[in-house]
Amino acid sequence: SAVGKGPEVPFSSEAYRISAASRGKELRLTLVPLGTGDPQDLVFRFGMSGSFRLCPAAQLPRHAHLRFLTRESPPRALCFIDARRFGSWRLGDAWQPGRGPCVLSEYQAFRENVLKNLDDKAFDKPICEALLNQKFFNGIGNYLRAEILYRLKIPPFEKARTVLEALKDQEQAKRKKPSLTLSKKLKLMRENPDLLELCHTVPMEVITTEKKLFEPDHVDNYAAFKNWLQCYLVPGMSSLRDRNGRTIWFQGEPGPMAPKGQASRKKRAQLKADPEALTPKVTARASKRRPRAAAKPPKPAEEEEEVADGPRKGRSRGRRKVPTAPALSEPEAPVKAKRSRRMTARRGRGEAGSP
């Protein structure tokens, strides 16, 4: 299409076959002519919204940036659709360099690549951020990391190396034990899955399901995907933005490396739903001491949300210096404090205080 950002595809054939292979977050299409001509390879990255759809050529969907037409009558088109245009394609069969083994198709190589490189600085970060590093976790995205950590009850902002070093110790212990049969190994994996195993089995659940969970035109299928999710976007879960600006959903404590100055979205939602929660309870003693402060109306929930998003101010920074001369903008002092200052001044001049 005219607005597509990918390169032109120098391929034309009266009849050709399309085959596909995937690795991590990439998909390779191979166009093979049924007559004469050379095959053409394209490697796609999908971004956040990229997908393929087969539809009538006369009814192309919006954002169909690349189309492969059939010879049927009427013809159909296999379209690469990308509303946000974060996806891309490039010519050739080479996978993007710097990506590790695929969590699905190259599981053993993926596992070894992680465990032998735990001294890499990537594992100095929280586990939720390390899981998006495609050099080690090729194929894991935002919703998958939330589901994996939730199932193992791992705080998302626990240090990645701390979480994974325990697996390295387990690997060494297994090597010392007599080798188990394959059936016993599979049984142990099902009963005691570790984080690297779930990086393989959780996305496999999505792939092997009978429904097309991600087809946006079918409401029932999207509902099935929502029902499959246990943590990501699920009501009642907490969420924070990591240091890359990506939102991580979780349950329980976030962990020791959680970003400072953020309030969980779950808490903000509760405050918005219950405005009374914003108003501190004022005891009888406190209301006598500061009658005007107790009478102030509560802040609206919207104001509280804005405060929650920004850094909290310390007490010393929040205080105002009292000017030597009264100013119009000076906040009104409590009644008792005003009266005590007046009486002190009168006593200094030798006057009697009025009742």
We report the CATH number of the domain holding residue 39 as: 3.20.190.10
Instruction: State the Cα–Cα distance between residues 73 and 170, nearest whole angstrom.
Output: 60
In the listed set 58, 91, 124, which residue is the last one of a domain according to the structure? Answer: 91
Total structural domains within the chain:
2
Q: What is the pLDDT of residue 325?
A: 43
User: Considering the entire predicted model, what is its pTM?
Assistant: 0.67
The pLDDT of residue 170 is above 50: yes
Q: What is the pLDDT of residue 183?
A: 63
User: 166 falls in which pLDDT band (50, 70, 90)?
Assistant: confident
Is residue 185 assigned to a domain?
Answer: yes
Of 82, 134, 84, 120, nearest to 244 (Cα)?
Answer: 134
What's the DSSP call for residue 299? Answer: P
Asked if residue 254 and residue 191 are part of one domain, the reply reads: yes
Where residue 143 sits, what CATH number does that domain have?
1.10.8.50
The pLDDT of residue 231 is above 60: yes
Q: What is the pLDDT of residue 191?
A: 56
Q: What is the pLDDT of residue 173?
A: 62
Q: How far is CA 105 from CA 24, 26, 35, in A?
A: 8, 12, 32
Domain range for 222 is 107-266
Asked if residue 123 and residue 87 are part of one domain, the reply reads: no
Is residue 131 assigned to a domain?
Answer: yes
In the listed set 231, 266, 301, which residue is the last one of a domain according to the structure? Answer: 266
In the listed set 57, 91, 125, which residue is the last one of a domain according to the structure? Answer: 91
Instruction: State the Cα–Cα distance between residues 89 and 93, nearest whole angstrom.
Output: 11
Asked if residue 135 and residue 22 are part of one domain, the reply reads: no
Is residue 27 assigned to a domain?
Answer: yes
- Contact criterion met (CB below 8 Å) for 81 and 51: yes
Mean pLDDT is lowest, of 21-25, 260-264, 275-279, for 275-279
